[in-house]
Every structure is written in structure tokens, then in C-alpha cells.
Structure 1
Amino acid sequence: MALKKGEQFALFEVDEPEVVPAETVTAESVQPSLFDVVDDEVPEHAQPEAESGGETAESGTPDGNVAAGEPSLDEELRGKVPTRASLPPAGESADGHAIIVTAAGTYTPSGQVLTGPVDSVEKLDKLIRWATLTPLGAPAQIWVVGIDACEMLGWIIDPGNEDDVDDMEVLRTRAAEELTGVLQAALTPMLTAGWELRGDPGHVVHLSRTTGKFTSMVDIVIEPYVWTYWNKDFGWGNRVGDMGILGSPTAGTYLPDDDLPAAQELGRRLAWCAQHLGVLPGPTPARTGAAVVDKIKRERTRSGKGIAVTEAGPVPPLDGEHRGDLEPAVGWTRVPEPDELDDATRLVSIDQRAAYLASAGMLEFGYGKPRHLRADDARDAAEATKTPFGLWHVTLPAGNMLALPDKLPLPHPHMLADQPVDTWITSVSLDAFRAPVADGGIGAELDDLDITEAWVYPEQGRALDKWAKILREARKVAVDTDDTAMKRFLGACYKGYIGRMVNPDMWTAKQMQHHHQPLWRAAIIAHCRWRGRRVAMRIARETGRWPLRTVTDSWVYPLPEGINVADDSDALGKMTLEKHAALTDDLVAAFTEARDTHEINLAIKAVFADDNEGNN
């Protein structure tokens, strides 16, 4: 079906489709009805056994039961659903890789009608095998949208009402357990037909089917029950945050309430993800980020060009007690001096644009088996022209012994003002300490840091450069088209993936263990922290203004009119104006009467209605 530029793809009929009588359909005009095909006529799609998300070719999409003269979604929903003129209709990039199932019928992500309703698990089995879907960075996907579609399949749970529980986590846990039980019982026909469950079924049902040396994989994602899955990517903590590609109810980016508009928007997002990331979305944003990494790894392995890391990089055994993050994000506040507020008229918060993504693309990361160096060997390695990637055991001098500005935090969260500290730092922080004070460092010589040990890696390079480039370009598309849902999703992808590098439990499968890279994450955090401090020093030189607060990569300043502390560049990592508010008499009073930094924090959070979204 050819589309004119700007025309919305016809997605579905709103009413029950009128099936074309069999006697009027010819083999040339349309394929047989899916649910009229007998088992031995269904082509069995198989692919070589491989890690989840192997590379495949595009596949065609069958036409199934299509009603004659069916109206387009535009015609049915015109005037009922607000349109987003800036957002293009769904493309065909996800067709052949995913199918959307609603109570009204089944559809390709681009909107082609495939079949009528799927009202039994047996029909779902036929749909999957008939569709011959192929993976795209992740296993092929069947998306079940709307509770009515779930009811047709017998997938109904009743965990209770949120008003009856004090903690949503109680309700979520109860619902997840009930859903697993219901699915285990309901999926029996598919298991009898040769499918196997990979893990316990939940909001995602992972299925595989092996024939000889070939294995087919498909994930069934049950949209009404995604909320039953707890994961930090989904923002649980007394609220429902981003639910991956589906969006966020609290941010207003979740799918529409009605099933057909929801399916239409989901199809658009699936196609967008396939087109701009080259993969289907994973069950969480972190898994989507990992799928992009794996796609690049496979391409580099085949071509023999570029860095393809295949092993995990756990934290080496460190001498001495180590607690918490190797490189913590900064969190600091100070009480302003009265004269700093005399001419200030507004309070602004600046934030590094996609800070973690920017650093991930810039840095060289280590890989391979690290070498343990002691004493002179460790110091010699640090004196190399290019500092090797690794960890260094150093003594950080007491902050009060250095000529550092007192209106900025100390250069490293492990530092103390009144005494030296022995600790481990990454190569990024080692370079930062050696930088001049004006550039965010302390101007240290290596002897000042008393290096006693190091773990250094034999290989290093920009392992995430192409990954960052793909996400950066996709983010630009989302920004340029005012596609808030996909911009937020991309942010969750790179922040989720980098955040989960530290947790081996996220990557227990053999083919996923190379994603466990806690030192990479530590280096990224250190780089963002150093870059922010360098900017703060530049702002102080140019304007004489100092921040009151910094959290991760954002900085809060009281400013007079005419002073702009944000960067003009729209490049990633540059400072952008995040929030601003008038510096009212009440706010000035709150600052001047504050007895400690806690009260300053409360005042800033109140005026900015801090939602902790961040832009790292």
C-alpha cells in the first residue's frame, strides 16, 4: 500500500471486521485465513540456534482475513483522538519482526490487518507459526494490547484494588504471582505443541521451539500487565515510572487508554525503534541498550573491524576495604553568603545534556584480563604518556591543605576536608587530579597521590563509540520531531544500560555476561563529574558566580538578569538550561535564614518541584 507524504497509515477497523467469504477469495488476491489453516499446512519458521537477538533479514507479512472496504483508522477515529502533526506515521521497519494483537484483530506495526480476533491459545500458536517472524536484535515479539484481548486468551487476574493496600509493592507482587500461575495453566496447548518456556512466564512470556539444529524464539509481551514487573528501569518507588517502550503514566507518555489508538501508537514506537536503533525494544530500557551493543558486537565480529568485547569486566580483588561505588556521583550543597543574593533575580538549574551518553562515546574503556601492579610498577604505569585504563590505589590529600575554591565541592566524593583518604580511583579521576585547579583538578603530581597499587588492562579503546553514536542520532530525531515519548525512552535506555553495568545479576546468561562492566560505569560517572566541575570553574572565572548546589550533573545558581551560564552549543555533554524560577523575597528569606544545607536543599526542591528526572 503506497502512502502519500504525511498520510497516516490505515491501521484497523474499529468495529468487528466483516470477513470476506471464502468463495470470493482467490489465491492471487489474498492468503488463506490463518485460523482456517490446518496444522500440517502451517510453515514452521526456524532459525539457527544463536544468542537472543541474532541478525536476520527482513521478512514479508501475510495478509490474513481482511475485510472488504474497511475504513481507515483516520476515518474511524477522526475527532476522537488528538493527532500529533509533528510525528510521522509508523514505518515498516518492525514488520516481519513483531505483531500487535488486540480484541479486534491482529496487525503489523505499520498497520496492515493480518487476521481477526485471537480468541484461544491454539490460535495464538497458529498466528506465531504462520507469521514466520524473525528477530531484530531481540527475539520476535507478539504484543497483546488491552485487557479484552487478554480475556479472550483466558489471561485474567484479580489481585485486588490499590485502595485496599498500603504499599503498591504488595499489590504488584500478588499480581505477578497470580499472573505466572494463570499463564502456566493457560499455555499448556502451546507447550504440548512443542514450545518451551524460558523462565517463568510473566508480563513477558519467553518461548522457544527447537526443530533439529534450529531454534525459533518469540517473546509475548502482555501490555496490560507490564506494571506487574518490578525493575529499577521502571521507576518503582511509590510511583510508576517509565515502562520501557510503553512510556510513563506519570509523565503522560503512556499509550492511549483505548485499545486501537494504543495499538496504533505502539506500532509507531516499535517501527521507530527498529528504524533508528536497529533493534526491537527489549523488556526493559537497559535490555534495549544491551541489544544495540550486541548488534554492533556481531557486526564487528563478522567484519573483524572495531572493538568487540566478549568477556565481563568485574571489579578486581582490591586490597583494603571498599564500600559503595568506586566513583560516586556528586551531591553537595552550601549556604550562600548574603551578598551573593543582593543582585540576584532568578534561580537557575543547568544540566549536562545526556551526560552519560556523551561520556560513553568519548572514553576509552579497558578490557581483557587486568594486571596487578604494585609500588614502582604501578607508579611507572601512571607516568605513561597515555594513562592506561584501570584502577589506582592512591592517597587523596586533605581538602583544607589545597588551594581549592571553598564555594565548590571537593574534587572527589571520597575526599575529606580535614584528613587524607586512602582509596581506589579510576584512570579518569587520576587524570582529573593531575589537571590544574582552573580545569577542575588539584594540580597534583604523582608523588602527591602516593600510588601504591594498580590494576591496569592490556587493551583499551572506544568500545561504546558506535553505540553512543546510534543513540545520539536517534535522540536527535526524537528532539527534532518533538517526540517526547521516544526521547524519554532513549534516555532510559542509555541510563538504564550504564546503570546496570555494575550488577552481575542482570547479566547471568553466558551470552550476556560481557555487559557486566562496573569499571566502565565508574569511569563514565567520574568523567561527568569532572566535566561539570571544569564548567563550574569556567563560569566562576567568566561571571564571578558560584553554585549553591550540585546533584550528579546539574548545578544550581542564583543569578542577576543578563548572565547566562548555559552553553550555546546543542552538543551532548554541554550545559543546558534545565529549570528556572524567580528569586522571590520568600525564597531569599529562606536562603538567608537557613541554618544548614538541609534547609537550602528543601528550599531549592520546593521552588523547582524537583522530580529527580535528571538528564545524565
Structure 2
Amino acid sequence: MGEETSTADASDQPTAPHTEHKRWEALPTGSAADGHAIIVTAEATYTPSGAKLTGPVDSIEKLDKLIQWAALQPLGVPAQVWLVGTGACELLGWTINPGSEYDVDDLEKLRIRAAESLGLVITASLPPLITTGWELRGDPGHVVHLSRAIGKATQMVDIILEPYVWTYWNKDFGWHGRIGDMGILGNPTAGTYLPDDDLPAARELGRRLAWTAQHLGVLPGPTPARTGAAVLDKIRRERTRTGKGIVVTTAGAVPPIHGAPDGDFEPAAGWIRDHLDSDDLDDVSQIVTIDQRAAYLASAGMLEFGYGKPRQLLGVDAADAASADKPAFGIWHVTLPAGGQYALPEKLPLPHPEMLTDQPVTTWVTTVSLEGLCAPIVDGGMGLDIDDLAVTEAWVYPERGRALDKWAKVLREARAVAAETGDAAMKRFIGACYKGYVGRMTRPEMWTATRMQHHHQPIWRAAIMAHCRWRGRRVAMRIARDTGRWPIRTMTDSWVYLLGDRQTIADESEALGKMVVEKHTALTDETLLAFAAAESARDVRLAIAAAYGVGAESDDDETGE
């Protein structure tokens, strides 16, 4: 970004941060986000590390002067000005009254109404900014995207209204009738949202901004998925500059195929036993749910992904390519044989979610599933030969490599810091970043800008999902060999077991992808009877929910991450 000259008079200039005010007290805060972000409350403005800059920003003109004076630099995403508390928004006239959540029967209607009102209020106030050269990028809302030309460079600044982040619907924020994760701001239901009072909230936000800048090398994006994308783009720029490492520059849209699966290309596992026998209930005293530690992140870091322009293979050529010792990364049109004709473990789901017991199914699978289906049964596979899958078509990529290895390493190390320091807010945020990013790989509408299109990688996501699923099956087979216990349910990458007093099935390793205990509780006589009496999958599901003391709907809320 080129240099800029402030339009403020000398008398209006804020005092230099190092001479004005002490750093935040009560919380250790780094300075990695200073110069990239500013925090504005109704009382004053601050650097993320806590140095006071100015008094209140009580007009759009003063906001313009503050931005120009601060000359903030981007850090992975555009520079940021955070308005914390409704008071800071009120000083700029950015207030709305959407009504009470108790007056509507649909929270989504309330959110839509609030978002529309907020956009109108902000738009009406922007002429003073527009006259000084700023342009609005997109529609204003909880984030106001501003840009302006400075010579041949472009300055971009995002103004973020903390009190109104809830007005933005995105699956990253887990709306669905309740407030969920709201990016760097945290989760109200999990107790990680900012404090209620403005100064403590500003202090904690400053800490989180500095933490993110230090450990991810970027500011938090408007959503966790965008933050994950910013981390990857920073790595891409470094690799482009040095000429070292894989740089993917194009989107990886699903090739033009017939018979694509409905929904996810590689569905997550979802299965439950329809009854339990005496072996399942013998000497059991506890119910335990295990899941893979940061499953998506683990798989993203270890998989080799394909990129470049895919090539179509038909007939014998496709079958021969599938028979290679190391098949190319791609997708394969196969016929999954009827599972009932194979000697598969009766107390595990069928090896692939699309497979049926009594009839073959023709579908598309990734290379990860192709290899999984051919793996030995003892390792969680099906023990098939490629000929058993009747491969008729494939789309394979000319290049392959660990395109997300460095990305996964950055997020893994940041997650480890948060875990070691007991920083629940940042650990949750890191989880939301990699899960959100992997989830949004399938959505081209999120990556419409030319410089963002390489994030559209649905086949990568499918491979990650498949890898997590096959890894879980392999672990389930190992547990069965070691303990004689079989799962009674699986959701995504979590598995539910009934165990005896001293039985443990979690992995000792701290590595990502290993199984950890998600939750467990002792069984009572009543819950044991419920399992014994179960005659359907629904009965088993209700028994699991009752054992954990939650409603049946809550039992379905496992994320597997």
C-alpha cells in the first residue's frame, strides 16, 4: 500500500501510542496486530496491545480522519477498525431496533430484518466518506468494506461492528435458531464471547487479535473460513516469492460427470446399531464416545491432493489407472458390490456410506475410497480387487502433492499453543477456522473473486472426509481386536462404545487424528435395561441420549471434531 497523507489538522492528530497510555492491564497482550487494527469504544480508541490513540469517534468525519491518520497495513486480510459496544456504534448513528427475539417465532426473520435495517442506516451515513475518495465494496452490514486509490495502490479497510455480528448468517456462525460461534468474538453459549462491559471486551478482543496475528500470521477474517483461506494465501505468496513448495492457482471444480452423488461427494459416516446382543452388554458399566483429535486438520496435512486440469479416462484406461500401485488423485466411477455377499464385520457399518447390503450401487468415489475399499478387512477395508469395483470412468489430475501441509502445520501449532495454555476461546476459533475452510471448499459462490478461486476444491474436501472415515474404521477394527468391543454408533468421526470398568479405547498419542475421549458416563440399571430392550436403531439412539442425560436431538449434535 502506498503512503497516504492525513487530511486532519495537526491539532487533531492523536498522541503517539507509546507516550499516551499504558498497555492493557489484567491480560497479557502482544503487539503483533498493532499497525494493522484499531479498536474503538465509546470512550476512546486503542491499539490491540492497549495503547490509547484518541478520544471518542463521534462522527463519520472523525472516523475518516482516524483511518487516514492510522495508515493501517493489511495482514493477510484488509486492515481492520473494530467498533466494540453499542455506544461506539451510536456515536456514528449506526444503531437499529430490530425488536425482541421474544416477539418472533423465527429468529431468522429477526436476523434478516436487523441486517436490512443496519445496511440502510450505514448506507445513509457514508457520503462524508465517499466524498473523500472511499468506495464501498459490497453491501454494508456488520462489516463495512472500504477501499480507495492511493496513487497506483489501493488501500482497503474493514470496519467491523461487534454488537451486530449476529446479524450475519453463515454456517460458520452456526445460526440454526441459536447463536453459535461468531468467529474471533467467540461463542455465547460456550462462554467464550467477549465480556459485557466495553473496556474488558476491547481488552480481550485486542488480545485475540494479537494472538491471531502472532500465531497465524494474519488478522482474523470476517468468518473463520475466510481466516483459514487467509492463512493459506499467505503461504502461497511466500511460495510464489521463493519458488519453493506447491502453489495451486486454479479452482478444482467437480468435472462434468453423470451420476454425481446427491449431497456430499464423500458422505460422512452416520450409522447406528438396530439391536444389541448379550456380548455387547456383558460386564459393561460405562458409555464412552471417542472421536478423532482435529480430524479434518490431520487429514488435510497428510494427504496428497491433485491439481491442474483433470484428464478423463474411459473403459480399460480407467480400470488400468485404478490398478496402479499408487493410483492418481482423482475420482472414479465404480460399482460398489452388495455388502451382504462379503464376510464383513456385522457390528460395523458397511465400508462405504453409499453401499447397500442387498444390491450393488453405482457411484463416484475419490482415490482415498478406492484404496480404502481395496484395503484388507482387518485394516477397516473391504479386501476387494479393483476388478470387483468395475471401474468404467475416471477423472485424474496431472499433479499431486501435499498442498495443505504447511497450512495444516500453522493451524496445528496454533491449536497446540491454545490447548497448552488453556485458551478455550482461541482453541475453538482455530477449530472453526479449519473446519469452516474445509467445509467451504465446496461452495464456489464464496470464492468468486479471481484471486480467491483456487479455494474452490470440492474434490479435496471429499478426500479429507473419506480419509477421516477410513481412519475411523481402521481404529474400530483395532479396538475390536484388542478389547472384543464393537461400536454401537458412529457420527462423522466419533464412535460410541459400551465398555467395562477398566477398559480404555482412546489413543495415548497426542497426535492429531488419534482417538480421544469426547465424553463418557457411568451406566445405571435403568439405562442398561434400555439398551437391552432396544429393538430398533431409534431405540438405541434414545438409549444413548438417556445415558448421557441429553435430549435425542442433542445426541445428534456431535461434530466429530
Same fold (TM over 0.5): yes
Residue 438 of structure 2 corresponds to which residue in structure 1? Answer: 498
Q: Does 1:214 align with 2:167?
A: no
Residue 219 of structure 2 corresponds to which residue in structure 1? Answer: 280
Residue 37 of structure 1 corresponds to which residue in structure 2? Answer: 10
Residue 301 of structure 2 corresponds to which residue in structure 1? Answer: 361
Q: Is residue 60–residue 126 contact of structure 2 (8 Å, CA) maintained in 1?
A: yes
Q: Distance in 2 between matches of 1:186 and 1:459?
A: 51
Following superposition, the deviation at residue 606 of structure 1 comes to 3.5
SS at match of 1:568: coil
- With over 3 angstroms needed to count, the CA separation of the structure-2 counterparts of 1:111 and 1:321, relative to structure 1, is closer
- With over 3 angstroms needed to count, the CA separation of the structure-2 counterparts of 1:580 and 1:321, relative to structure 1, is closer
Residue 395 of structure 1 corresponds to which residue in structure 2? Answer: 335
Following superposition, the deviation at residue 595 of structure 1 comes to 2.6
Residue 3 of structure 2 corresponds to which residue in structure 1? Answer: none
Residue 457 of structure 1 corresponds to which residue in structure 2? Answer: 397
Q: Distance in 1 between matches of 2:447 and 2:213?
A: 23
- With over 3 angstroms needed to count, the CA separation of the structure-2 counterparts of 1:237 and 1:210, relative to structure 1, is same
Q: Does 1:374 align with 2:314?
A: yes
- With over 3 angstroms needed to count, the CA separation of the structure-2 counterparts of 1:116 and 1:64, relative to structure 1, is farther
- Greater displacement, 193-202 / 605-614: 605-614
Picking from 260, 264, 270, the partner of 1:325 is 264
Q: Does 1:518 align with 2:463?
A: no
SS at match of 1:114: strand
Picking from 233, 242, 253, the partner of 2:172 is 233
The CA deviation string for residues 59-82 of structure 1, in whole angstroms up to 9 with x for no partner, is xx9626976xx68764xxxxxxxx
Q: Does 1:404 align with 2:377?
A: no
Following superposition, the deviation at residue 321 of structure 1 comes to 5.2
Q: Distance in 1 between matches of 2:24 and 2:450?
A: 44
- With over 3 angstroms needed to count, the CA separation of the structure-2 counterparts of 1:438 and 1:72, relative to structure 1, is closer
Q: Does 1:271 align with 2:216?
A: no
Q: Which amino acid aligns with 1:449?
A: L
SS at match of 1:413: coil
Residue 244 of structure 1 corresponds to which residue in structure 2? Answer: 183
- With over 3 angstroms needed to count, the CA separation of the structure-2 counterparts of 1:502 and 1:71, relative to structure 1, is closer
- With over 3 angstroms needed to count, the CA separation of the structure-2 counterparts of 1:109 and 1:211, relative to structure 1, is same
The CA deviation string for residues 71-119 of structure 1, in whole angstroms up to 9 with x for no partner, is 8764xxxxxxxx6xxxx61100000000000011000000111111111
Q: Distance in 2 between matches of 1:513 and 1:495?
A: 19
Structure 1 segment 86-485 matched on structure 2, within 5 A: 89-320=28-259, 322-334=261-273, 335-485=275-425
Q: Distance in 2 between matches of 1:131 and 1:607?
A: 56
Residue 63 of structure 1 corresponds to which residue in structure 2? Answer: 16
Q: Which amino acid aligns with 2:183?
A: G
Q: Distance in 1 between matches of 2:22 and 2:51?
A: 12
Q: Is residue 66–residue 115 contact of structure 1 (8 Å, CA) maintained in 2?
A: no
Following superposition, the deviation at residue 579 of structure 1 comes to 0.4
Residue 520 of structure 2 corresponds to which residue in structure 1? Answer: 580
Following superposition, the deviation at residue 380 of structure 1 comes to 1.5
Q: Is residue 23–residue 49 contact of structure 2 (8 Å, CA) maintained in 1?
A: no
Q: Distance in 1 between matches of 2:7 and 2:424?
A: 37
- Greater displacement, 269-278 / 604-613: 604-613
Q: Is residue 528–residue 553 contact of structure 1 (8 Å, CA) maintained in 2?
A: yes
The CA deviation string for residues 263-300 of structure 1, in whole angstroms up to 9 with x for no partner, is 00000000000000000000000000000010011111
Residue 614 of structure 1 corresponds to which residue in structure 2? Answer: 559
- With over 3 angstroms needed to count, the CA separation of the structure-2 counterparts of 1:321 and 1:522, relative to structure 1, is closer
Q: Which amino acid aligns with 2:289?
A: S
Q: Distance in 2 between matches of 1:323 and 1:133?
A: 46
Residue 77 of structure 1 corresponds to which residue in structure 2? Answer: none
The CA deviation string for residues 105-139 of structure 1, in whole angstroms up to 9 with x for no partner, is 00000011111111111000000000010000000
Q: Distance in 2 between matches of 1:129 and 1:177?
A: 29
Q: Is residue 539–residue 546 contact of structure 1 (8 Å, CA) maintained in 2?
A: yes
Q: Is residue 371–residue 458 contact of structure 1 (8 Å, CA) maintained in 2?
A: yes
Q: Distance in 2 between matches of 1:71 and 1:491?
A: 33
- With over 3 angstroms needed to count, the CA separation of the structure-2 counterparts of 1:384 and 1:594, relative to structure 1, is same
The CA deviation string for residues 213-248 of structure 1, in whole angstroms up to 9 with x for no partner, is 111000000000000000000001111000000000
The CA deviation string for residues 397-449 of structure 1, in whole angstroms up to 9 with x for no partner, is 11101110000000100000001111100000000011100001111111111
Q: Is residue 506–residue 515 contact of structure 2 (8 Å, CA) maintained in 1?
A: yes
Q: Distance in 2 between matches of 1:307 and 1:286?
A: 21
Following superposition, the deviation at residue 615 of structure 1 comes to 4.0
RMSD (Å) for aligned C-alpha atoms = 1.7
Q: Distance in 1 between matches of 2:176 and 2:153?
A: 42
Following superposition, the deviation at residue 186 of structure 1 comes to 1.0
Q: Distance in 1 between matches of 2:225 and 2:198?
A: 27
Q: Distance in 2 between matches of 1:482 and 1:178?
A: 39
Q: Is residue 62–residue 131 contact of structure 1 (8 Å, CA) maintained in 2?
A: no
Q: Is residue 66–residue 114 contact of structure 1 (8 Å, CA) maintained in 2?
A: no
Q: Distance in 1 between matches of 2:279 and 2:529?
A: 13
SS at match of 2:400: strand
Q: TM-score normalized by structure 2? A: 0.95
Residue 19 of structure 1 corresponds to which residue in structure 2? Answer: none
Q: Which amino acid aligns with 1:614?
A: T
Q: Distance in 1 between matches of 2:383 and 2:364?
A: 19
Q: Distance in 1 between matches of 2:92 and 2:198?
A: 16
Residue 498 of structure 2 corresponds to which residue in structure 1? Answer: 558
Q: Is residue 472–residue 493 contact of structure 2 (8 Å, CA) maintained in 1?
A: yes
SS at match of 1:394: strand
Following superposition, the deviation at residue 607 of structure 1 comes to 3.1
Q: Distance in 2 between matches of 1:517 and 1:62?
A: 47
The CA deviation string for residues 510-553 of structure 1, in whole angstroms up to 9 with x for no partner, is 11111000000000000000000000000001110000000000
Q: TM-score normalized by structure 1? A: 0.87
Residue 475 of structure 2 corresponds to which residue in structure 1? Answer: 535
Following superposition, the deviation at residue 338 of structure 1 comes to 3.1
Following superposition, the deviation at residue 389 of structure 1 comes to 0.1
Q: Distance in 2 between matches of 1:140 and 1:170?
A: 32
Q: Which amino acid aligns with 1:353?
A: R
SS at match of 2:353: coil
Percent of aligned pairs with the same amino acid: 69
Q: Is residue 23–residue 50 contact of structure 2 (8 Å, CA) maintained in 1?
A: no
Q: Distance in 2 between matches of 1:401 and 1:329?
A: 24
Q: Is residue 34–residue 65 contact of structure 1 (8 Å, CA) maintained in 2?
A: no
Q: Is residue 491–residue 558 contact of structure 2 (8 Å, CA) maintained in 1?
A: no
Q: Distance in 2 between matches of 1:343 and 1:311?
A: 56
Q: How many residues align structurally?
A: 550
- Greater displacement, 203-212 / 461-470: 203-212
Q: Distance in 2 between matches of 1:231 and 1:585?
A: 43
Q: Which amino acid aligns with 1:281?
A: P
SS at match of 1:250: helix
Q: Distance in 2 between matches of 1:403 and 1:464?
A: 37
Q: Is residue 48–residue 209 contact of structure 2 (8 Å, CA) maintained in 1?
A: yes
Q: Which amino acid aligns with 1:274?
A: A
SS at match of 2:408: helix
- With over 3 angstroms needed to count, the CA separation of the structure-2 counterparts of 1:153 and 1:37, relative to structure 1, is farther
- With over 3 angstroms needed to count, the CA separation of the structure-2 counterparts of 1:460 and 1:73, relative to structure 1, is closer
Following superposition, the deviation at residue 36 of structure 1 comes to 4.8
